[in-house]
Amino acid sequence: MSSETAATVEPQTPWSTPRAIRIRTTSVVALSAAFAVVVVLFTGVAGIDGWAITFMGLSIVVVLARTSRAGSKERKDALMRVIITSAAVTAFAPWLSIFGSVILKGYLGIRPNFFSQDMRTTTPDDFLEFGGALHAIVGSLLMVLIASAITLPLGILSGVYLTEVRGRLTFLVRFVVQSMSGVPSIVAGLFIYTTWVTATESFSAFAGALALAVLMLPTVARTAEEVLKLVPEDLRAAGYALGARQWRTAFMVVIPTVRSGLTTAAILGVARVIGETAPLLLTSLSNSALRFHPFDGPIASLPTYVFGYLQIGTEYAIARAWTGSLVLLAIVFVLFTLARRFGGKDKR
């Protein structure tokens, strides 16, 4: 063994920003942020929005000052970096604020009774220890289940048409599905009102489910198509080569291959409609008692629950509305997580 020590090689990262420059950038940003706070404290500019605008203005000034000796190309690049980042922050602020406020204001009402009681014997202004949204959650789930039972087969058929049958109407079907996804939710509600509700002379969970189905179908159909498109052509060819008819290939080879993808389609459809309020105002109305019957009179749902208590407008009613929103948002979030989980499975 030789006695000389081997020189250790430090890994170098010549492409990354040097430490000194990073520290300088951070301190400049921090200084302008602090200066913006001072401006907010001592001038007429107020609030977090005032601070943000001051900060963005300052950043532009700083960037212009620092690139004053560089060419116009560099100056523009630095300037646009600040402008695009500011635009992005502004674009993301509203929905980040929504996530934040729904969680902060909604969690107050998250108590066991919120999930175990209805509002039959509770007035909106009772303390949050009384009453709950069980009836609304059950109503929403009931309607969404019926709507899924209607749309899922239709959506899958539509996807199968676009990817397997590939008939003459392919373009038309794709176009109609796409345009249908833009039908305003209130119009879907009116449609079911003029047909089903008028014919049966009663508002019901089933009517609400029909309206939701109209809104859900395009989402399910489109996602199903996307998913079925991922099936390799070889699999179909293999099916035919084994002597299977087209329908057997479709049902026994193609569809089972993307089973979890189709689950994703259903989940995304549910996420699309679970928060729809407007159509339910015209078809299922609302109710303060727990009901299960799909054809028997008005029924509660989470969106109409939130909407109703928001309209009442007293302190505890609004607190209930926030909690309802939190539950709604949590459901959407869970559905999305599930969709991602299932969606990842088919991709190889």
Helices (H), the chain: 19-42, 47-66, 72-106, 112-116, 134-160, 170-180, 185-192, 198-200, 205-229, 233-241, 246-248, 255-257, 259-273, 278-283, 302-312, 315-346
Nearer to another protein, 114 or 322 (CB): 322
Q: Closest CB to another protein among 6 and 199?
A: 199
Q: Which is nearer to another protein, 207 or 271 (CB)?
A: 271
Spatial contact of 259 and 265, defined as CB atoms under 8 Å apart: no
In the complex with another protein, the residue whose CB is nearer, 227 or 250, is: 250
Shortest Å distance, C-beta 158 to another protein: 4
Q: Which is nearer to another protein, 166 or 293 (CB)?
A: 166
Rounded to a whole number of angstroms, the minimum distance from the CB of residue 279 to another protein is: 9
User: Nearest Cα to 144, choosing from 220, 212, 223, 224?
Assistant: 212
What minimum distance in Å lies between the beta carbon of 65 and another protein? 18
In whole angstroms, give the CA distance from residue 52 to residue 33.
9
Shortest CB 33 distance to another protein, Å:
18
Amino acid occupying residue 129: E
Nearest residue (CB) to another protein, 165 versus 253:
165
Q: Which residues are CB-neighbours of 334 under 8 A, at least 6 positions away?
A: none
Shortest spacing between CB 125 and another protein, in angstroms: 18
Can you read off the two tokens belonging to residue 164? 């397997």
Give the Cα separation of 220 and 159 in Å (integer): 9
**Smallest separation (angstroms) from another protein to the CB of 42:** 18
Rounded to the nearest whole angstrom, what is the least distance from the CB of residue 137 to another protein in the complex? Answer: 15
Query: What span, in angstroms and rounded, lies between the C-alpha atoms of 98 and 110?
Result: 18
Residue type (1 letter), 145? L
Q: What angle do CA 338, 340, 345 make, to 5 degrees?
A: 100
Rounded least distance, CB 185 to another protein, Å: 6
Among 292, 301, 306, 300, CA closest to 274? 301
If the CB atoms of residues 130 and 336 are measured against another protein, the closer one turns out to be 336
Instruction: Please give the single-letter amino acid code of residue 73.
Output: K
Select 44 or 112, whichever has its Cβ closest to another protein. 44
C-alpha 306/C-alpha 280 separation (Å) is 12
What is the 8-class DSSP label of residue 108?
Answer: G
Who contacts 14 (Cβ-Cβ below 8 Å, separation ≥6)?
none
For residues 90 and 121, which CB has a smaller minimum distance to another protein in the complex? 90
**What is the number of residues in the chain?**
348
Residue 332 burial (CB < 10 Å; 0-12/13-18/19+)?
Answer: middle
Nearest distance, CB of residue 176 and another protein, angstroms: 5
For residue 316, give both structure tokens: 């505890």
